[in-house]
Chain A
């Protein structure tokens, strides 16, 4: 065990854990967060996604000692008490079925739109491709990403 400092959703946490512990288990079991979930432990499915310094990363096989950036989980995505436009689009499009993977879908979409604010259909498919959904909500996800992009563009025009 050793002391690890993590920045999560704007707060600093100091924890006494084995530095090789995957970030996922620290977020879930030590910090009590629910957004990132275990899906494969192999960084193949995206269910455990978090943002680190704005980039979507997989927390299931990243040692906590290498998680030194500013981490944002699904809980930390809203700003000033308002849902992120991607989250709102997810509700407007009624995207989730079981919802287990949607943490990864939403955070990956948020990251995608942060560096590609107006993605084409192909860019959405490619940008989202590594996040799997076994309820197969892909069709609605892709509509919701477009809706969020429009909402964010309108928000900037205002």
Chain B
């Protein structure tokens, strides 16, 4: 450690891993691309607090500045080092689905490097271009395609440099693993490292926005990609297995202190008094910080902060009006509540033909209502962040999946210039949308500024489970009409979604601390909501979704945010269960019935969704060994009943079909999904093993949401607060067999420009319907309300006399 440039272990380890002797900032600084505040090297002033290290004075006392890397400069994206290896700077984050490894594969392929000759740096607002961080399953579909173009451009420039150096036209050169050689004289070579090692490209890119960034080089045809398509082991896994990887929870700065929040015991409560004497004499106590209804306790040690937060006596006043109905009354409430004007949003409505007329004249009309409760994220590790306020800047160490909006949101919240704020993404517990509105970073930054020293915040389990952002509840009513031949002539879908004031991405006015302090968004989200996404041809249909609201819209533990595949599992549960109901009413096999609906039209879109929908349904049925017959099957007389069900959907440009095989124990009500098949078409597959892992996670997470998960609340607070009151899937529930079938249903499967489509979420959405359809197949009983815990299953079987 030298002088005031002490590098905390987080950065030190990262630098060691990147193998460079200079940091990215040093590189950029010496490259003269950007003008930095003088002290803005490494982690500004990190050595300032205690432990006898020198303050960062001696350099300038001006605040550090962290300007945005310029996306129109090749050097902002890619550096070639002296040893010929490269570092790719990627403005995304990896939640453990392997997007970092996959991006590295794609970029190495374009640059003609071996996989091990490169490394990826992700999600640091001062070092990586703002690609938005994670979300929407777009890392590979959109952002890594930018990476491919960048890498292709770097290769083009390097080849031109080699051409000049070797006196041979570019056409006479070939590249392999960073070594350029003459086609006619392969002994004559020059390496990337020799050409540019450590230096700048100084090449300008074009593009009206970051996603459109490009050079002049073309990307390679798919057939020329060598690393793409290989199951290269993920680079992040060894460090996760031997504890060498430093996570956001692990960062420790000298002089840092620990904070814990104290939440209102009732939703909508108003703070009336804090008795600081109740904790003042506790060991390590530093301060109680409160503003509005936000309260936190800061102590020297972590366990001291936990104890102080538990013991702090706070008086709260209950709101005059009940904030929301009890969860037992939720769906009645939602069906009778007024709809929020302007809610629903893009993609929510679909209108075609004359559904009412067609229903009136249909031979058979089927009606059903589906209920899906609020789901929590309930991350295995509660929200956490560490903020360092030294030298007038603010650095936040976080697992926030969207570090860029985290930075701008915190800057706005604290009234700071965004250039004085930087967010350093590090690995953390699963993101899935929770850390797109990451409260802990805001809290840490606020407290760090109040205390004037680094503050680490971590939520407690009860706090995370009760107060994290929620996936919205749905109440969905469906009507469908069949003609005398069993064809679907009408479908009427009406959804209600409890999604009013859905929080945005790290917004300064909608994160929990801001709400508790009394901030309100100028225009609360009216509440969006999609319907199911499928390619069925049904001549007369209506599909609309409207939001409803509760008396308490803010400071509520039922505030909704994005939860993995927002809306997808809920709406597909209703839509694909109901298609199954129609198939049963028509006496048709569920697979044949769906294929008939998919083949009813011939029109398609640029992503060939219809053709690729048919391909996944057929592939799933084949992989499962599906025997065509109507559901239910013959309901046995034994203790355990077995059945299989299918559900299909698309999400954006990815198509998926899932088949579940279940065992239903009619004595205990336990449902076990014994086998799952997922046929998956996301176009070009980058890393099959990593993709399979992601799909397995989606499937099991879907089983968990189907069988167990539900946010429970009485009329004043959330009552599901830990792993007993909020159960989740366990090892015991794991299927015996999971088959993932990668499908490429593109009409021209060998197209040279075959694109990868998103895969982080799509396979999640068909799962609840596939399970419910399988239970129907096994028992003849239709499950229309989630979750399917044993007590509910027993109750439903009981109604049916089983």
How near does chain A come to B438, taking the closest CB pair, in angstroms? 15
Task: Please name all residues of chain A whose beta carbon is closer than 8 Å to the beta carbon of B734 when the two chains form the complex.
Answer: 125, 138-139, 142
In Å, the complex CA distance between A100 and B283 comes to 30
The contact string, 1 if C-beta is below 8 Å from chain A, for chain B 728-758, is 1111111110100000000000000000000
By the criterion CB–CB under 8 Å, are B693 and A39 in contact? no
B342 at the interface (CB under 8 A from A): no
B179 at the interface (CB under 8 A from A): no
How near does chain B come to A139, taking the closest CB pair, in angstroms? 5
Known A29-B252, A83-B241, A97-B96; judge A129-B732 contact (CB<8 A): yes
By the criterion CB–CB under 8 Å, are A134 and B301 in contact? no
Task: Please name all residues of chain A whose beta carbon is closer than 8 Å to the beta carbon of B738 when the two chains form the complex.
Answer: 139
By the criterion CB–CB under 8 Å, are B693 and A97 in contact? yes
The secondary-structure label for the interface of chain A is loop
Known A97-B96, A98-B429, A98-B430; judge A42-B731 contact (CB<8 A): no
Task: Please name all residues of chain A whose beta carbon is closer than 8 Å to the beta carbon of B382 when the two chains form the complex.
Answer: 38-39
By the criterion CB–CB under 8 Å, are B242 and A74 in contact? yes
By the criterion CB–CB under 8 Å, are B381 and A37 in contact? yes
Which one of B243, B429, B700 contacts A35 once the chains associate, using CB atoms below 8 Å?
B243
Known A100-B429, A134-B430; judge A94-B690 contact (CB<8 A): yes
In Å, the complex CA distance between A90 and B696 comes to 16
How near does chain A come to B222, taking the closest CB pair, in angstroms? 24
By the criterion CB–CB under 8 Å, are A21 and B723 in contact? no
By the criterion CB–CB under 8 Å, are A34 and B243 in contact? yes
By the criterion CB–CB under 8 Å, are B732 and A74 in contact? no
B701 at the interface (CB under 8 A from A): yes
A10 at the interface (CB under 8 A from B): no
Q: Which of B389-432 contact A (CB under 8 A)?
A: 427-431
A47 at the interface (CB under 8 A from B): yes
Q: Which of A41-76 contact B (CB under 8 A)?
A: 41-42, 44-45, 47, 73-75
In Å, the complex CA distance between A135 and B427 comes to 14
Q: Which chain B residue lies CB-closest to A29?
A: B302
In Å, the complex CA distance between A118 and B666 comes to 33
Which one of B96, B428, B693, B723 contacts A42 once the chains associate, using CB atoms below 8 Å?
B723
Task: Please name all residues of chain A whose beta carbon is closer than 8 Å to the beta carbon of B699 when the two chains form the complex.
Answer: 136
By the criterion CB–CB under 8 Å, are A87 and B96 in contact? no
A149 at the interface (CB under 8 A from B): no
Known A99-B427, A100-B429; judge A125-B732 contact (CB<8 A): yes
B250 at the interface (CB under 8 A from A): yes
By the criterion CB–CB under 8 Å, are A141 and B690 in contact? no
How near does chain A come to B35, taking the closest CB pair, in angstroms? 36
B704 at the interface (CB under 8 A from A): yes
Q: Which chain A residue lies CB-closest to B238?
A: A91
B97 at the interface (CB under 8 A from A): yes
Which one of A124, A128, A135 contacts B96 once the chains associate, using CB atoms below 8 Å?
A135
B234 at the interface (CB under 8 A from A): yes
Q: Which of B690-716 contact A (CB under 8 A)?
A: 690, 693-694, 696-697, 699-701, 703-704
Task: Please name all residues of chain B whose beta carbon is closer than 8 Å to the beta carbon of A75 when the two chains form the complex.
Answer: 242-243
The secondary-structure label for the interface of chain B is loop
| Interface magnitude class on chain A | 35 or more
In Å, the complex CA distance between A44 and B731 comes to 14
In Å, the complex CA distance between A91 and B245 comes to 14
Task: Please name all residues of chain B whose beta carbon is closer than 8 Å to the beta carbon of A155 when the two chains form the complex.
Answer: none
By the criterion CB–CB under 8 Å, are A129 and B302 in contact? no
Task: Please name all residues of chain B whose beta carbon is closer than 8 Å to the beta carbon of A111 when the two chains form the complex.
Answer: none
By the criterion CB–CB under 8 Å, are B236 and A101 in contact? no
How near does chain A come to B427, taking the closest CB pair, in angstroms? 7
By the criterion CB–CB under 8 Å, are B429 and A94 in contact? no
Interface size on B, residues (CB 8 A): 61
By the criterion CB–CB under 8 Å, are A136 and B704 in contact? yes
Which one of A96, A130, A133 contacts B241 once the chains associate, using CB atoms below 8 Å?
A96
Q: Which chain B residue lies CB-closest to A45?
A: B723
A4 at the interface (CB under 8 A from B): no
The contact string, 1 if C-beta is below 8 Å from chain A, for chain B 667-702, is 000000000000000000000011001101101110
B62 at the interface (CB under 8 A from A): no
B285 at the interface (CB under 8 A from A): no
Which one of B95, B378, B429, B731 contacts A128 once the chains associate, using CB atoms below 8 Å?
B731
By the criterion CB–CB under 8 Å, are B689 and A94 in contact? yes
How near does chain B come to A89, taking the closest CB pair, in angstroms? 9
Which one of A1, A40, A87 contacts B461 once the chains associate, using CB atoms below 8 Å?
A40
By the criterion CB–CB under 8 Å, are B233 and A91 in contact? yes
In Å, the complex CA distance between A126 and B697 comes to 20
Q: Which of B308-353 contact A (CB under 8 A)?
A: none
A151 at the interface (CB under 8 A from B): no
By the criterion CB–CB under 8 Å, are A97 and B95 in contact? yes
By the criterion CB–CB under 8 Å, are B380 and A42 in contact? no
Q: Which chain A residue lies CB-closest to B94?
A: A98
B249 at the interface (CB under 8 A from A): yes
Task: Please name all residues of chain B whose beta carbon is closer than 8 Å to the beta carbon of A18 when the two chains form the complex.
Answer: 283, 303
In Å, the complex CA distance between A103 and B304 comes to 25
Q: Which chain B residue lies CB-closest to A127?
A: B731
By the criterion CB–CB under 8 Å, are A47 and B380 in contact? yes
Q: Which chain A residue lies CB-closest to B256?
A: A29
By the criterion CB–CB under 8 Å, are B461 and A135 in contact? no
Q: Which of B214-257 contact A (CB under 8 A)?
A: 233-234, 236-238, 240-247, 249-250, 252
Task: Please name all residues of chain A whose beta carbon is closer than 8 Å to the beta carbon of B728 when the two chains form the complex.
Answer: 132, 134
Task: Please name all residues of chain B whose beta carbon is closer than 8 Å to the beta carbon of A102 when the two chains form the complex.
Answer: 240-241
Known A45-B723, A47-B380; judge A29-B301 contact (CB<8 A): yes
Which one of B244, B303, B693, B735 contacts A22 once the chains associate, using CB atoms below 8 Å?
B303
Task: Please name all residues of chain B whose beta carbon is closer than 8 Å to the beta carbon of A91 when the two chains form the complex.
Answer: 233, 237-238, 241
B379 at the interface (CB under 8 A from A): yes
By the criterion CB–CB under 8 Å, are A141 and B429 in contact? no
Task: Please name all residues of chain A whose beta carbon is closer than 8 Å to the beta carbon of B242 when the two chains form the complex.
Answer: 74-75, 77-78, 83, 87
In Å, the complex CA distance between A75 and B246 comes to 12
By the criterion CB–CB under 8 Å, are A38 and B458 in contact? yes
Known A41-B461, A96-B237; judge A33-B243 contact (CB<8 A): yes
In Å, the complex CA distance between A1 and B693 comes to 47
Residue from B237, B243, B431 with most neighbouring chain A CB atoms (10 Å): B243
Q: Which chain B residue lies CB-closest to A92?
A: B233
B724 at the interface (CB under 8 A from A): yes
By the criterion CB–CB under 8 Å, are B381 and A39 in contact? yes
A147 at the interface (CB under 8 A from B): no
In Å, the complex CA distance between A95 and B246 comes to 18
How near does chain A come to B702, taking the closest CB pair, in angstroms? 9
A-B CB proximity, top 7 nearest: A136-B700, A97-B96, A99-B240, A98-B96, A100-B429, A40-B461, A35-B243
11 residue pairs of the A-B complex, CB under 8 angstroms, read A39-B380, A74-B243, A90-B241, A95-B241, A97-B96, A98-B95, A98-B380, A100-B429, A135-B697, A138-B731, A139-B738
Query: Residues of A with Cβ closer than 8 Å to B?
Result: 1, 18, 21-22, 25, 28-29, 32-35, 37-42, 44-45, 47, 73-75, 77-78, 83, 87, 90-91, 94-103, 106, 121, 124-126, 128-142
Given contacts A25-B301, A39-B380, A136-B729, 8 further A-B pairs with CB under 8 A are A37-B381, A40-B723, A41-B460, A45-B380, A83-B241, A98-B96, A131-B731, A139-B738
